[in-house]
Amino acid sequence: MTFQVMLLTLQNLRRQYESGTACPEDIVRLIYDRIKAAGNDHVWIYLVPEEAALRRARELGEWSPHRPLFGIPFAVKDSIDVEGLPTTVACPAFSYTPGTTATAVQKGIDAGGILIGKTNLDQFATGLVGTRSPYGACSSVYHPAYISGGSSSGSAVAVAKGEVCFALGTDTAGSGRVPAAFNGITGVKPTRGLVSIAGVVPACRSLDCMSVFAPDVETSARVLEAIAGADQRDPYSRSVPQRGDSFGIPTIGIPREDQLRFFGDEAAAGCWRRAVDKVSASVSAVKLTEIDFTPFQRAAELLYAGPFVAERYAALGSFVASTPESDLDPVVRGIILGAAKYSAVEVFNAQYKLQELRRVVGGVFESIDALLVPTAPTIYRIEEVRSNPVELNSRLGTYTHFANLLDLCAIAMPAGLSDDGLPFGVTFMAPAFSDAKLLRLAHWWEGSPSGNYLGQANSVELAVVGAHLAGQPLNHQLTSRGASLLRTATTAPKYRLFALANTSPPKPGLLRVAEPQPNGIEVEVWQLTGEAFGSFVAEVPPPMGIGNLELADGSIVKGFICEPYALQGASEITTLGGWRNYLKR
């Protein structure tokens, strides 16, 4: 059987499986060939034997749409339990073999995933650098002299090298985001508790979070959907609240320029300016505004410059204190044992301060839908980090440390290369349970169509062309039902647009015609739940109606159509390309 050696995204693999061009065994063989060819690059701590992975691939049988991760190869960070495989947390002296698989991993397997192995990390998930492991230091896929980021270093590099389709990591202070930035992939840090951490060796248990690395947003989203859900095994697990997710044209907040820090890396600063320019130029899709970044900075300082680090001692202090120094990374050992100095009074005082900051940050998010920041201010060489391990590691958390303390979800996205050829990334953040919103924003950033996520499978895409556009008089009929703006698009060149006579508020009419038109008509595509769509349609008055509308990319969505009799006295405005252009005359 001949198949394409493709980028390992979920969509690519699914197309291969559906068409019969490839089967899961083909992909498993391809992956193990790639891993062997890479040699000892310090990515893997333990590989599932190839024959065992092939056996799992054969056991899957025929492709089925009911298994969303059918035949999808994945890896897990070696702080996450898999029954029968050692969990080392990059410390052989700590190693044990669990009898139960972590909930999130089991969900991935039950959804059809094929586990390839367990990946390298900063010891005890303590670090953002990827250099604190007795199994060696992973390097960025862009340059062997530069760090891969940590602590989920191996998981990120395995994805970036095409050795798996996705990988699970953890993220307490940025470990699911910094490695994504340094390897040019997507890193999703969901809302704390959205994905179970049962079966994860704790770093800071009240702040720990499972994370997903993938080559694109669609893969990340589908994996997150498969592994999310409340879990009785995890006391920190949370259910997604039932609420409308109105988004409209999202307002993106960025830190004031005087509050940004790149630690002398002008190339990274240039990448950030280009990222901001990209957002600024997309006025029809997003709005941009500056915010005061101070409360976020102050929250970040509480994590490792304050008593919250004592939670690491609570998790691992007894083991570290009783283990010979030779078995531990000296930096990790110093961080964990140093946390014992804090008192309960200091912890409570820090909690009071954090609660104040959460209230301030909540006010910031009343005026913005999401925050956009650099994922990391710079990237360092491996030798630089080894020479100055604590300070440089701390710098890398400038834009990540505060997320879990403030109960934010986040998605790290690639943002190109700097002028010196090194990777740069940006991160979108929003309050807890805004994960679906961030996935849609990330799709926009990536330049791909967005989909329905996290329980939104019964939703409907509706194209609007006139008075229901964002900012127009009837838009509230969408936002009041929790509709979210997915994207701006154009119709196929098969429609004529008219300004209808005697309508209040003024409305256009869209008419499909047989003869080709010179251009398509601008529309906005909104997303509603099935229930909200039904109530919306019930309010649409004649002569308007809802039918199938063809977009320029060939997709079909629901949209406004107009009956021909209503065009009496109307003025044709097709050549203007859209209702907004008509209003600007």
**Which pLDDT tens digit goes with each residue over 446-473?**
986 655 555 544 578 899 999 999 889 9
Mean pLDDT of 93-102: 98
Structure tokens at 17: 């499986």
Q: At the fourth CATH level, which superfamily is domain 10-446?
A: Amidase signature (AS) domain (3.90.1300.10)
Mean pLDDT of 506-523: 90
The pLDDT tens digits for 141-159 are 999 999 999 999 999 999 9
Distance CA 504, CA 571 (A): 16
- Assess whether pLDDT exceeds 90 at residue 7: no
Instruction: Determine whether domain 460-583 maps to CATH 3.10.490.10.
Output: yes
Beta carbons of 161 and 82 less than 8 angstroms apart: no
Radius of gyration of the chain, Cα coordinates, nearest whole angstrom: 25
Distance CA 577, CA 71 (A): 45
Indicate whether this model's pTM tops 0.95: no
Beta carbons of 17 and 24 less than 8 angstroms apart: yes
pLDDT for 224: 96
Domain boundaries, the chain: 10-446, 460-583
pLDDT for 489: 87
The pLDDT tens digits for 33-46 are 999 999 999 999 99
Hey, which residues are catalytic here?
77, 151, 175
For the chain, the average pLDDT equals 92
| Other Cβ atoms within 10 Å of 181 Cβ, number | 29
DSSP string, 192-213: TTTS--TTB--SSTTT--EEEE
pLDDT for 4: 47
3-state secondary structure of 306: coil
Name, in order, each residue with C-beta under 8 angstroms of 104's C-beta and a sequence gap of 6 or more.
80, 168, 195, 196, 197, 199, 210, 227
Q: Produce one character per residue of 492-508: b if its CB has 16 or more CB atoms within 10 Å, e if not.
A: bbbbbbbbbeebeebbb
Structure tokens at 405: 């303390």
Name the phi and psi angles at 292, rounded to 5.
-80, 115
Task: DSSP letter for 123, please.
Answer: G
Whats the size of the chain, residue-wise?
Answer: 585
pLDDT for 1: 35
pLDDT for 3: 42
Distance CA 391, CA 402 (A): 17
Beta carbons of 230 and 239 less than 8 angstroms apart: yes
Distance CA 527, CA 534 (A): 12
DSSP string, 384-431: HHHHSHHHHHHHHTTTTTHHHHTTEEEEEEEEEE-TTS-EEEEEEEEE
